[in-house]
Amino acid sequence: MKKIFKIVLAIFAVYLLSVGVFMIFRNKSVMPKTERLSVVKDTVKEYENHKNAAYIISKNYVSEKLSHATSTSFPFLPTDVKSDPVKQNYMVYSYVEAEVDGSKIKREYHMIMHFNGGDEANDNNWTINALNFN
């Protein structure tokens, strides 16, 4: 009976030791919760910056396309900006009010664009894949 008890005790000690070693290594490889939250907040902020930049770049591009207009104006906020942050693709939905030959027009537009990386405020870092006016 003592022999079985010693074997069970040895197995239990090995088990506790292995669990303890696992917990030590696991905790070293896992980022602390506050650091994880900081990374998530930074990612969300960058994602929002890209969405805002996509709208600004779309306004610049639409204004260039409407170069024959005497004036153009856009809403402060877009109707919608949808995105795929992993692929860096953005779809901007908005409208433009323009004055052409003395008459005012309002046209909705949908632009599909890709962010190539770098400074999001630089027009050259964006590729315009499609622009559709309704």
* pLDDT of res. 86: 80
Query: What is the distance of C-alpha 23 from the center of its chain?
Result: 34
Instruction: For residue 95, list its beta bridge partners.
Output: 108
Q: Is residue 103 part of a domain?
A: yes
The secondary structure element, H or E, covering residue 68 is: none
Do β-strands 89-100 and 80-84 pair in parallel, antiparallel, or remain unpaired? antiparallel
Q: Is residue 13 part of a domain?
A: no
Q: Is residue 5 part of a domain?
A: no
Q: Is residue 40 part of a domain?
A: yes
CA distance 132 to 107: 10
Q: Is residue 15 part of a domain?
A: no
Q: What is the pLDDT of residues 76-124, one digit of tens each?
A: 999 999 988 788 999 999 999 999 888 999 999 999 999 999 988 899 9
Q: What is the pLDDT of residues 4-61, one digit of tens each?
A: 756 655 565 566 556 555 555 555 556 666 776 666 666 666 767 888 999 999 999 9
Q: Is residue 39 part of a domain?
A: yes
* pLDDT of res. 133: 94
Q: What is the mean pLDDT of the chain?
A: 81
**Number of domains into which the chain is organized:** 1
Residue 133 sits at φ, ψ, to 5 deg, of: -105, 140
Q: Is residue 108 part of a domain?
A: yes
Q: Residue 74 is part of which domain span?
A: 30-133
CA distance 15 to 20: 9
